[in-house]
Amino acid sequence: MTDHPTGAGALHVADPWTRPGWYTETLHGGAAQGFPVSEVRFRDHTDLQDLVIFETPVFGKVMALDGVIQTTTADEHVYHEMMAHVPLLAHGAAADVLIVGGGDGGMLRRVLMHPGVKRCTMVEIDRAVVDLSLAQLPEISAGAFEDPRTDLVIADGCRYVAETDRRFDVIIIDSTDPIGPGAVLFTETFYADCKRCLKPGGVFVNQASVPFLQGEELAMIVRNLRPSFADVTAYVGAVPTYYGGLMTFGWASDDPSLRTVPAETIAARYRAAGLATDYYTPALHAAAFALPAFIDRIVHAG
């Protein structure tokens, strides 16, 4: 098991309520972001995590777990579209998809936009996150939990991939940062179990940090993926909530050609699926794998 990252990119989560009227995230050493709170809609400590949902003037409704911002109604589409549409359109024939995490339902919603998907299994460790998202943030899932193709499993995702006999075309790890319950989802053992669950030609993606502030985390992810997959890299997207510049998404497969599918093919698949997106485009899909030099160095040194 890999330890949490240390140094400039380490995780430094402090009490977010120290400034009256504001929610302050201190995920990164030496930097923070604050949200003026119009209304606290829910706050409680579940069996596993400290969970809060609050209203803000700019980002709409915000969900945070253990002092770390998870999603907002204003910009969730960026993260969810890039993590769902990139692997599914690159694969081209994904029928069985696994999501680990993603309790707000935004990833599930985007996966189910693809008519070729016959079943999407979503494994979420904390039922309270699903229930509260349905009650407080229903616009994020937009009915996805009621789709007959949805198979919701409340369980430990790490244990699920270690024990299941099911096999998947695409696996999406929509997890928190490597703190609390999410820490085990960044280990070499977990990635090896995910590889076991992939069908031949399958694709694995995960959230892989903001490398300007969390370079060690991205390096750890790449390092722990490489023993299990022939082709490991990252692609990028700009998510306003996740401050510090471009966010990376980890990519792993045994087929290097899947990340270089011609743009014309991606565009044809996009049209055939009848997708409507707010951030993702077929041209952006191809460009997302063109990494800035400092991120490329982290990936290739990892």
How confident is the model at residue 129, as a pLDDT? 86
**64-76: average pLDDT:** 91
User: In the listed set 54, 72, 90, which residue is the last one of a domain according to the structure?
Assistant: 72
Q: Which two tokens stand for residue 29?
A: 């050493």
How confident is the model at residue 183, as a pLDDT? 83
Percentage of residues of the chain with pLDDT beyond 90: 78
User: In the listed set 72, 97, 128, which residue is the last one of a domain according to the structure?
Assistant: 72
Note the pLDDT tens digit of each residue in 168-206.
999 999 987 776 667 889 999 999 999 999 999 999 999
**133-144: average pLDDT:** 96
Model confidence at 292: pLDDT above 80: yes
CATH code where residue 139 lies: 3.40.50.150
Model confidence at 106: pLDDT above 70: yes
Same domain, yes or no: 222 and 243: yes
**Domain interval for residue 120:** 76-301
Q: Is residue 29 part of a domain?
A: yes
Same domain, yes or no: 17 and 158: no
Same domain, yes or no: 19 and 146: no
pLDDT band, very low/low/confident/very high, at 46 (cuts 50, 70, 90): low
Please state which of the ranges 29-33, 143-147, 255-259 shows the lowest mean pLDDT: 29-33
43 bridge partner residues:
52
**What's the chain's length in residues?**
302
Q: Is residue 1 part of a domain?
A: no
The active-site residue out of 75, 126, 169, 174 is 174
Same domain, yes or no: 183 and 56: no
Domain count, the chain: 2
Same domain, yes or no: 64 and 105: no
Percentage of residues of the chain with pLDDT beyond 70: 93
Same domain, yes or no: 16 and 110: no
Q: Is residue 2 part of a domain?
A: no
Q: Cα–Cα distance between 11 and 231 in angstroms, integer?
A: 28
How confident is the model at residue 181, as a pLDDT? 66
174 is catalytic: yes
Q: Is residue 123 part of a domain?
A: yes
Model confidence at 240: pLDDT above 90: yes
Note the pLDDT tens digit of each residue in 148-158.
999 999 999 99
pLDDT band, very low/low/confident/very high, at 19 (cuts 50, 70, 90): confident
